[in-house]
C-alpha cells in the first residue's frame, strides 16, 4: 500500500514537472514573439541558408575574380602608362626607380663614401681635360687637313699630268722630284711688268704675262701687291740654303728652304707676292688673313696660279703654309686644282713628298 502511494506521488510529480515545462516553453514563446521556427522548418531554413551562403560564396569568388581581373587590368594599364612615359623620355627615372626597390638601404657612411668616390672621378676627369688642354691634345684641336694622298681617279679625267720635263709648265718639283738636270735654267725668262721689291726679277714668259694680268685685276679692286721673289738660279739657291744651314743646321734649313735643284723658283714658274703696304704683316702666314691674301686665294686660279703650299698639307708637300707662294700651271689645271681643293701632288696622283730620299 505504501509502495503504491509512492508510485502515485512520483507520477503526480512527473506530471507537475511536465506541466511546468510546457508552461515555461509557452512563456518563452510568448516572450520571444514566435520568431523561432519549428524544427522541420528550421532544418529547411538551414538548408536554404546554406545554399544561400554557398551561392554568396560563389558570387563572392566571381566578384573577387572580377575585382582581381579589374585590379590586374588597372595594374597593367598603370604599367603601360609608366612604360609609355619611359619611352617618351630618356628612361633614366624608370630605371633608377626599379633599382631603388631592389637595392638594400645604404647607411650614411656608405652614401658619403660613394659620393666622395664620384667626386674623385669628376676631379680626375677635370684634371685629364686640363692636361689635354695644356699639351694641345684637346678634342677641339685642329687636325691636319688630310693624311693620305688623293688618287687621280678622284678627278678623272684630269686635265693635265705631272711632267718630268723642266720646260713643261706642269713639271713637278718637290723633295722627291728634283729638276733634271739639277742646274736647269729656262730659256724664255723675262721681266714681268708688275710692281716689284727690286729690279731684275725674272719669270718664264707665260707666267710673267699671267702675273701682270693678276696684278691689274687686284689693283682695280684697290688691293696693291708686290712681287718679292721670282726665278732663282741653281747657284743662288745654293747660297740661300747654305746660309740657312749655317744658321739653323741642315734640319732647320730643310724646314724652310729647298735644296738647290729641288726649288720651284728655279723653274721660273713660281712667284712670291706680298701686300704693297701692310704694316701688320709682311711675308708670313698672316698674309693669308689680309685682304690681299684672301683675294689671292680666291682669284689666283683665274690667272693660272695656285697657292702651292696650302694650310695643313705639310705631310704632303713638305713645307708649311705659304699663302704668298704662287705656282703657275696654266688656267685649266689651276681651275681644276682650286675646285678640288687639293695639292698638286694629290691632283696628279703623285706620292707625298715630306722628306728627301733616304730620310724619315
**What are the residues whose beta carbons fall under 8 Å from the beta carbon of 338, sequence distance 6 or more?**
300, 301, 306
Strand segments, DSSP code E, in 97-205 are 189-190, 203-204
Query: Residue 270, CB half-sphere, CA atoms under 13 Å: how many?
Result: 22
| 177 shares its domain with 54 | no
| 76 shares its domain with 161 | no
Q: What is the pLDDT, as a whole number, of residue 158?
A: 87
Q: What is the pLDDT, as a whole number, of residue 11?
A: 64
Q: What is the pLDDT, as a whole number, of residue 282?
A: 77
Q: What is the pLDDT, as a whole number, of residue 230?
A: 98
CATH number of residue 173's parent domain: 3.30.1380.10
Q: Which of 99, 156, 209 is nearest to 349 (CA)?
A: 156
Does the residue 60 lie in any domain?
yes
Q: Which helix (H) or strand (E) holds 270?
A: strand 270-275
Locate 324 and state its grid cell: 704668298
Does the residue 54 lie in any domain?
yes
Does residue 338 contact residue 327 with C-beta atoms inside 8 Å? no
| 175 shares its domain with 280 | yes
Give the range of the structural domain holding residue 65, as residue numbers without chain letter.
2-28+44-81
- From the number of C-beta atoms within 10 Å of its C-beta (0-12, 13-18, 19+), residue 265 rates as buried
Locate 119 and state its grid cell: 667626386
Does the residue 125 lie in any domain?
no
Does the residue 97 lie in any domain?
no
| 179 shares its domain with 259 | yes
Does the residue 104 lie in any domain?
no
Q: What is the pLDDT, as a whole number, of residue 40?
A: 37
Count of structural domains, the chain: 2
pLDDT digits (tens, 9 = 90+) for 294-322: 999 999 999 999 999 999 999 999 999 99
Does the residue 112 lie in any domain?
no
Q: What is the pLDDT, as a whole number, of residue 343?
A: 97
Selecting among 53, 129, 255, 322, the annotated active-site residue is: 322
Q: Which of 297, 273, 283 is nearest to 224 (CA)?
A: 273
Rounded Cα distance between 99 and 102, Å, is 5
The ranges of the chain with pLDDT < 50 are: 23-105, 112, 120-122, 125-127, 129, 131-142, 144, 147
| 330 shares its domain with 200 | yes
| 291 shares its domain with 205 | yes
| 181 shares its domain with 286 | yes
pTM of the full predicted structure? 0.60
Cα-flanking dihedrals φ and ψ of residue 247, to 5°?
-85, -45
| 228 shares its domain with 340 | yes
Does the residue 118 lie in any domain?
no
Does the residue 90 lie in any domain?
no
Residues in the chain: 360
| 179 shares its domain with 69 | no
Q: Confirm whether 322 is a catalytic residue.
A: yes
Does residue 324 contact residue 275 with C-beta atoms inside 8 Å? no
| 187 shares its domain with 63 | no
| 179 shares its domain with 315 | yes
| 182 shares its domain with 310 | yes
Q: Which of 20, 15, 350, 309 is nearest to 161 (CA)?
A: 350
Amino acid at each position: 500500500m505504501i509502495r503504491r502511494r509512492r508510485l502515485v506521488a512520483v507520477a503526480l510529480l512527473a506530471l507537475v514537472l511536465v506541466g511546468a515545462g510546457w508552461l515555461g516553453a509557452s512563456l518563452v514563446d510568448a516572450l520571444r514573439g514566435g520568431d523561432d521556427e519549428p524544427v522541420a522548418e528550421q532544418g529547411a531554413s538551414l538548408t536554404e541558408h546554406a545554399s544561400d551562403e554557398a551561392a554568396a560564396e560563389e558570387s563572392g569568388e566571381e566578384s573577387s575574380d572580377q575585382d582581381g581581373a579589374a585590379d590586374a587590368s588597372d595594374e597593367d594599364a598603370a604599367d603601360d602608362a609608366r612604360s609609355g612615359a619611359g619611352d617618351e623620355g630618356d628612361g633614366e627615372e624608370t630605371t633608377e626607380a626599379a633599382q631603388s626597390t631592389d637595392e638594400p638601404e645604404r647607411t650614411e657612411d656608405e652614401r658619403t663614401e660613394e659620393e666622395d668616390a664620384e667626386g674623385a672621378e669628376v676631379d680626375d676627369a677635370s684634371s685629364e681635360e686640363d692636361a689635354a688642354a695644356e699639351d694641345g691634345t684637346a678634342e677641339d684641336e685642329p687636325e691636319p687637313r688630310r693624311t693620305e694622298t688623293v688618287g687621280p681617279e678622284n678627278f678623272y679625267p684630269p686635265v693635265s699630268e705631272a711632267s718630268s720635263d723642266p720646260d713643261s709648265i706642269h713639271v713637278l718639283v718637290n723633295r722627291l722630284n728634283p729638276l733634271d738636270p739639277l742646274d736647269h735654267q729656262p730659256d724664255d725668262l723675262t721681266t714681268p711688268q708688275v710692281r716689284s721689291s727690286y729690279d731684275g726679277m725674272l719669270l718664264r714668259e707665260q707666267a710673267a704675262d699671267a702675273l701682270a694680268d693678276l696684278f691689274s685685276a687686284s689693283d682695280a679692286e684697290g688691293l696693291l701687291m708686290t712681287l718679292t721673289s721670282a726665278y732663282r738660279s741653281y747657284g743662288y739657291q745654293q747660297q740661300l740654303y747654305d746660309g740657312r744651314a749655317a744658321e739653323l743646321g741642315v734640319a732647320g734649313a730643310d724646314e724652310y728652304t729647298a735644296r738647290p735643284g729641288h726649288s720651284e723658283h728655279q723653274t721660273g714658274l713660281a712667284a712670291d707676292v706680298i701686300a704693297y703696304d701692310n704694316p701688320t704683316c709682311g711675308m708670313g702666314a698672316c698674309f693669308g688673313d689680309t685682304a690681299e691674301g684672301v683675294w689671292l686665294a680666291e682669284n689666283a686660279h683665274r690667272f693660272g696660279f695656285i697657292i702651292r703650299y696650302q694650310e695643313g698639307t705639310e705631310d704632303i708637300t713638305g713645307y708649311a703654309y705659304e699663302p704668298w707662294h704662287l705656282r703657275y700651271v696654266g688656267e685649266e689645271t689651276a681651275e681644276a686644282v682650286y675646285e678640288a681643293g687639293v695639292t698638286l701632288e694629290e691632283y696628279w696622283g703623285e706620292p707625298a713628298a715630306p722628306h728627301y730620299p733616304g730620310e724619315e
